């Protein structure tokens, strides 16, 4: 199977596979800035993240997959896609599901005796990551992972200078002060996301309160009802009598993008909203614990900043589940003093 992009010969039908997660999906939109995406293409994505791509000028059709539909749902989806006769399929996920889809196409191409599309697979950097996890700061910089946004752009034939762009999500493109979700808020505000899927990536909520009080910026708390850290931050801000707005469980992804676009920046953990903030044009101040910015997922805007504790054991993994410390678990987060975080507006 060919694993390099084909040259553009007339109008070719192209399809991208990238199902999730929010942050990875945002980063993968760098591929849409490539010259090979000028004519547009289609995209296979998990249904819960399809709103990220809706309205994008270079995405013609979105194939939404309901992950609870299981193997049968995956088979039915790809059987339909097979009939569309795509010329090229760009697998930007490179996981078990996308491998199964490729096997489907191989079987059907034999059964129907016709050539299937060319598959271009996004190669992961596992050995670079594992070497970094094992040798920590001793791992040579030249062997550390290459930026994901650079690699996504190159996978679709770009130069590597392409960057994610999610401005199509902004509902109020003129950046007017009156926001349909914020009313007449005229203060400079900062969007705060204290939650993360993994406990090992959550900076203590009390630290966020202390930093917010020191910054003096009006905070808007983001997250879903399942983000317990966001719920806790709202409660602690109320207790501390700090004026704020809670967007927890209220706004959709496009609405969050609109709010982010009008903020002075994003403050939060290493989560998908950090990448969304940069993709809609604002800086991000990201708190790193077990991860570090040069694992390939770091901020790419020059005005953005990454913060982390100066510990020899970082990085230890993608989510902190392998933290070896027994008495001071997640010291990479608990040991990062809010006073040491310097944010310049």
30-57 confidence digits (pLDDT tens)? 999 998 899 999 999 999 999 999 999 9
Q: Is 3.40.50.2000 the CATH number for 14-165?
A: yes
| DSSP, residue by residue, 102-115 | HHHHHHHHHHHT--
| DSSP, residue by residue, 84-101 | T--SEEEESS-SHHHHHH
pLDDT of 325 reads: 85
pLDDT of 9 reads: 53
Structural domain boundaries of the chain?
14-165, 171-340
What mean pLDDT do residues 107-121 have? Answer: 95
Where on the phi/psi map is residue 317: left (φ > 0), alpha (ψ -120 to 50), or beta?
left
Spatial distance between the Cα atoms of 325 and 316, rounded to a whole number of angstroms: 11
Tell me how crowded residue 247 is: count the other CB atoms within 10 A of its CB: 22
pLDDT of 247 reads: 94
Spatial distance between the Cα atoms of 81 and 65, rounded to a whole number of angstroms: 12
Tell me how crowded residue 151 is: count the other CB atoms within 10 A of its CB: 22
pLDDT of 345 reads: 78
User: 151 phi and psi, to 5 degrees?
Assistant: -70, -35
Q: Is 3.40.50.2000 the CATH number for 171-340?
A: yes
Spatial distance between the Cα atoms of 88 and 323, rounded to a whole number of angstroms: 42
Output the CA torsion 227→232→233→239 (10° steps). Answer: 160
Spatial distance between the Cα atoms of 74 and 101, rounded to a whole number of angstroms: 8
State the sign of the Cα–Cα–Cα–Cα dihedral 141, 145, 148, 150: positive
Reported confidence tier of residue 216, pLDDT bands at 50, 70, 90: very high
Count of alpha carbons within 13 angstroms of residue 118, beta-carbon side = 14
pLDDT of 3 reads: 46
pLDDT of 11 reads: 79
pLDDT of 327 reads: 82
Please determine, for residue 234, whether its predicted confidence score (pLDDT) is greater than 70.
yes
Please determine, for residue 315, whether its predicted confidence score (pLDDT) is greater than 60.
yes
pLDDT digits (tens, 9 = 90+) for 168-212: 998 644 443 456 667 767 678 999 999 998 889 999 999 999 999
Tokens of 38: 């000028």
Please determine, for residue 344, whether its predicted confidence score (pLDDT) is greater than 90.
no
pLDDT of 324 reads: 85
């Amino acid at each position: 199977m060919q694993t390099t992009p084909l040259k553009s010969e007339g109008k070719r039908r192209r399809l991208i596979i990238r199902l999730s997660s929010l942050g990875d999906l945002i980063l993968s939109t760098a591929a849409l800035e490539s010259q090979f995406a000028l004519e547009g293409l289609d995209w296979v994505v998990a249904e819960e993240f399809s709103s990220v791509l809706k309205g994008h000028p270079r995405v013609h059709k979105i194939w939404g997959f309901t992950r609870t539909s299981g193997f049968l749902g995956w088979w039915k989806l790809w059987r339909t896609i097979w009939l569309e006769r795509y010329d090229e399929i760009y697998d930007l996920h490179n996981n078990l599901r996308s491998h199964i889809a490729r096997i489907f196409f191989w079987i059907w191409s034999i059964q129907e005796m016709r050539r299937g599309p060319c598959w271009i697979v996004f190669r992961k950097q596992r050995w670079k990551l594992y070497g970094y996890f094992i040798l920590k700061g001793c791992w040579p910089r030249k062997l550390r992972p290459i930026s994901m946004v650079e690699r996504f752009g190159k996978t679709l034939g770009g130069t590597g200078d392409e960057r994610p762009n999610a401005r199509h999500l902004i509902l109020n493109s003129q950046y007017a002060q009156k926001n349909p979700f914020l009313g007449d808020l005229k203060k400079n505000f900062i969007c705060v996301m204290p939650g993360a899927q993994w406990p090992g990536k959550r900076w203590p909520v009390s630290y966020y309160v202390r930093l917010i009080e020191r910054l003096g910026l009006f905070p808007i708390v983001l997250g879903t009802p399942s983000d317990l850290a966001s719920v806790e931050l709202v409660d602690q801000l109320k207790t501390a009598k700090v004026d704020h707005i809670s967007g927890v469980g209220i706004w959709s992804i496009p609405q969050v993008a609109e709010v982010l676009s009008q903020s002075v920046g994003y403050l939060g953990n290493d989560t998908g909203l950090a990448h969304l903030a940069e993709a809609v044009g604002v800086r991000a101040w990201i708190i790193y614990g077990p991860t570090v910015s040069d694992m390939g997922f770091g901020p790419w805007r020059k005005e953005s900043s990454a913060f982390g504790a100066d510990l020899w054991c970082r990085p230890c993994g993608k989510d902190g589940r392998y933290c070896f410390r027994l008495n001071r678990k997640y010291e990479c987060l608990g040991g990062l003093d809010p006073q040491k975080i310097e944010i310049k507006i």
